[in-house]
Amino acid sequence: MNAAPHTARSLAALVGGCFAVLAIAGAAHASGAGRASGAAIYSVHCAVCHQGKGQGVALAFPALADTVGRYLHAPDGREYLVRVVSFGLSGEISSNGVDYDGVMQSWTQLSDAEIAAVLNHVLTHFNARTVPADFKPYTAAEVRRIRTARRSFDQVRAERAGILKSLGASATAPRAIKAH
Residues in contact with ligand HEC by the rule CB under 6 A: 45-46, 48-50, 61-62, 64, 67-68, 81, 84-85, 89-91, 93, 95, 100-104, 107, 118, 122, 160
- Rounded least distance, CB 113 to ligand HEC, Å: 13
Closest among 129, 105, 123 to 42, alpha carbons compared: 123
Of 92 and 134, CB closest to ligand HEC: 92
Cβ contact 50:85 at 8 Å: no
The amino acid that residue 66 corresponds to is D
Of 11 and 59, CB closest to ligand HEC: 59
Of 28 and 59, CB closest to ligand HEC: 59
Report the C-alpha gap between 19 and 9 in whole angstroms.
15
- Rounded least distance, CB 30 to ligand HEC, Å: 15
- Rounded least distance, CB 37 to ligand HEC, Å: 12
- Rounded least distance, CB 34 to ligand HEC, Å: 18
If phi over 0 gives left and psi between -120 and 50 gives alpha, with beta otherwise, what is residue 120? alpha
The amino acid that residue 162 corresponds to is G
Of 10 and 155, CB closest to ligand HEC: 155
Closest among 135, 127, 138 to 50, alpha carbons compared: 127
